[in-house]
Every structure is written in structure tokens, then in C-alpha cells.
Amino acid sequence: MGRHSLEYPKEALNKVKRVYALEQIHSLVNSSPLVHVSLGPSSSSSPFPVTLPMIGQMGSFSRPSASLGDPLDLYLHGHISSRLFTTPSSSSSSSRVPVCVSATHLDGLVLSLSAFNSSYNYRSVVLFGHAAPVTDELEKLYALKLLTDSVVPGRWDAARLPPTRAELQSTAVLRVEIASGSFKARDGETGDDRHDMENEDMRRLVWTGVVPVHQVFGSPVASSYNRVEETPAYIAEYAQEQTRENAEYAVNAIKAQKK
């Protein structure tokens, strides 16, 4: 078993380590169908932060050839009426809203002898950054393609194009410049304290192990007004591939050795 953590790298770090950390962090965000975006309290009248589940993807408009190991921005989109796009500070002169973005994968239920040592296998990223609305039309289209293709790769070009003017106007896109962040994960089997491990009676009584957990993308269900006879391969194969990868990760994570 192991607990792993990585900091979002600063320039000072050596290159191999920096690229590795960026790849881990960016891949986890990009393989998450949903991220949770949090904002601080909106005003003195409400003391509560606000969290919104959204689609988010790492990318680089200024350098579209950038790979996952390069510094990237996070793109988010939503209806212009959404809280994130109407927050007071977004219309102020600075137009930059501090946000926290969280992406979490649950990989297993870890059932140890003691409840205290029980846990989850998981992978989690938290990113801190400043969100600002994207006003450049080409960057907006870049981000909308990026976000649409994150749901099913190739869907942007397969769907009706181009977006209408009304669609573009009612969709807001945010670019989050990342300031810092971290990656945390747990994998491996159960772990227990010595005093429990040495209790042979208890070990014969309490089952210990891991229930792997993963997300399944099931068989596509055509809509009532669909006129395409077969589900296109880019959808059906993507669903199968993602499901297989998710399942393999969850099972392999249990076998991970302590590093």
C-alpha cells in the first residue's frame, strides 16, 4: 500500500520531476468527467463558499501543441447565468476570481481489521487558481471543442457545426490560471497496526481486503429521434475502452507495492 503526494511544480524543480508531476496532475483532471469548482463567499451577506460540479479540461490556447507535462490552463464552461459567471468580482476591474478546483477518483473500499485503519483507494487533485472569462472568440471555440471532446473524443467534429451566434452568446467560458495545487493518492491493500495483526483470533474473524470501485460507461442508448442506424465506433469504442481502463486501474491499484 502507499500514500502518494505531489505538489504542483514550481520552476525551481528539476525538469524530469516537474514534467512527471504535471503529467500526473493534468491527466487526472482530464480523465475526470466532472470537477468541483469552489468560490469563496460571494459577499458579506452569505458566509458560505459555493461549490459547483462542472466539466473542466486542461489545455493551452496559446500553445495548442502543449503536452500534459507542460504548464496548462484549466478551461470551464457554463451558462452565462451561472453563479460562477455572475460573481461580483468577475465584473470588477480585475475580473479574476480565486477558485479551488477538485477532481477525485474513487478506486476502492479498503476494509482493514480496525475501522480506524480502513480507508479508500483514491486519486485526487486540488488546483488553486484565478478564473477569468474568455473574451477572444477563437479561444472560446478552442475551449468549447476541448470540453466537448473530453466527453467523447471526436464529438465536436461529429456534431452540428458551427455553433450559432445565440449558442455562443449564452455560453460563457472561463480560463483558470493555475497558481498551485497538489496530487494525492492511496493504493495497495489494507494496512493494520501491529497489535491487531498479532491477534490471530481476530484475523480469523474479520475479513480484510479491498472492494475495487470504478466507473462504467455502458451501452449507448439511441434517442427516439435518432436516424443513425449503428452507434458510431468513436462512441461505442470509447465507452468500452474507458470502462476497461477504469476497471484495470482499480484492480491493479490493490496490487501496488509500498514505495
Q: Which of residues 131-160 bind a copy of itself (CB under 8 A)?
A: 144, 148, 151-152, 155-156, 158-160
Q: Does 73 bind a copy of itself (CB under 8 A)?
A: no
Q: Does 128 bind a copy of itself (CB under 8 A)?
A: yes
| Other C-beta atoms lying within 10 Å of the C-beta of residue 219 | 8
**x/- binding map, residues 27-66, to a copy of itself, per CB under 8 A?**
------xx-x-xxxx----xxxxxxxx-x-----------
Size of the site for a copy of itself (CB under 8 A): 94
Nearer to a copy of itself, 91 or 209 (CB): 209
Q: Which one of 65, 219, 257, 259 is in contact with a copy of itself (CB under 8 A)? A: 219
d(CA 101, CA 137): 24
Q: Which one of 19, 100, 132, 256 is in contact with a copy of itself (CB under 8 A)? A: 100
Question: What does the block give as the cell for 223?
Answer: 434517442
HSE value, Cβ hemisphere, 13 Å, CA-based, for 177: 8
| Other C-beta atoms lying within 10 Å of the C-beta of residue 204 | 8
**Burial group, residue 17, by CB count within 10 angstroms (0-12, 13-18, 19+):** exposed
Residue of 119, 256, 247 whose CA lies nearest to 187: 256
Q: Does 74 bind a copy of itself (CB under 8 A)?
A: no
Q: Does 179 bind a copy of itself (CB under 8 A)?
A: yes
Whole-number CA gyration radius for the chain: 22
Q: Does 22 bind a copy of itself (CB under 8 A)?
A: no
Nearer to a copy of itself, 58 or 178 (CB): 178
